[in-house]
Amino acid sequence: MAAQPHPSSSNPQRKTMSTFTTKDGTQIYYKDWGAGPVVSFSHGWPLSSDAWEAQMFHLASNGFRCIAHDRRGHGRSSQPWHGNDMDSYADDLNELFTALDLKGVTMVGHSTGGGEVARYIGRHGTKRVARAVLMGAVPPIMVKTAANPGGLPMDVFDGFRKAYLADRSQFFLDVASGPFFGFNRPGAKVSQGLIQSWWMQGMMSGHKNAYDCIKAFSETDFTADLKKFDVPTLIIHGDDDQIVPIGASALLSSKLVKGATLKIYPGGTHSLGDTSKDQLNADLLAFARS
């Protein structure tokens, strides 16, 4: 049964966690914390809304209503065999926004979630959107093509798929303990807790869903979507992002989104929500208030 619109965000009895069912029968889990202007969060691959808990706690503690969903096939959402693509991800988010009758939303997307935000605006416009944040995000397109010579070779993503199918549990551990958080850099302060959290979230994803999502995040071209942005947009990226290199992502997206503000975190990793948490929390709060 589809979710019904929430009562006013000022109602203390409003449910703070729920699920809803999309038109194609996929059950989507979401969190709904706090009260006030709405900030939505779209997570990266192969994680869940739990990846945003520090940012959600900070903004909800400062007068915002924070909503984050587990993308189809990830976290606590159901694992459909089909529909593991950016169009479906964006349409699921639109159904959630419609079910909750959200307006004036500040949309925040990390990595694959940044692609989800871009495709949402490309397909559904900004009638419900006030601002957008792309953080360590995959747009405009990750894979190397004739039109995107600075992208990563297809061999990189074929390698992801091969390692994933061979032993996805070990593959997730290798990503989390190395490039994702920058723990492979000299002098890095390694957190076993972050590694285990990342691995746990990854293992909660559906096997085929996360496999299909590699194609979705690497091969989807968001160029046309970015050109449709007509709201204030903040693009945040670490210049030591080893997962989504800044040169073929944020530096290009900031030129495609009219009037975008680009903020580069020196030495920043792919997971700024963890490794640059205080700075990111402050920047998101300031932007949501702007």
Catalytic sites, residue numbers = 111, 241, 270
Q: Per the structure block, which two tokens stand in for 103? A: 């307006």
- Strand segments, DSSP code E, in 22-110 are 27-33, 38-42, 65-69, 105-110
Helix (H) or strand (E) holding 264: strand 261-265
CA neighbor of 70 nearest in space, from 98, 37, 128, 112? 112
Say if CB 206 and CB 73 are below 8 A apart.
Answer: yes
Residue 75, amino acid: G
- Residue appearing with tokens 């990266």: 44
Q: How far is residue 25's CA from residue 32's CA, in Å, rounded to a whole number?
A: 21
CA neighbor of 86 nearest in space, from 211, 193, 206, 212? 212
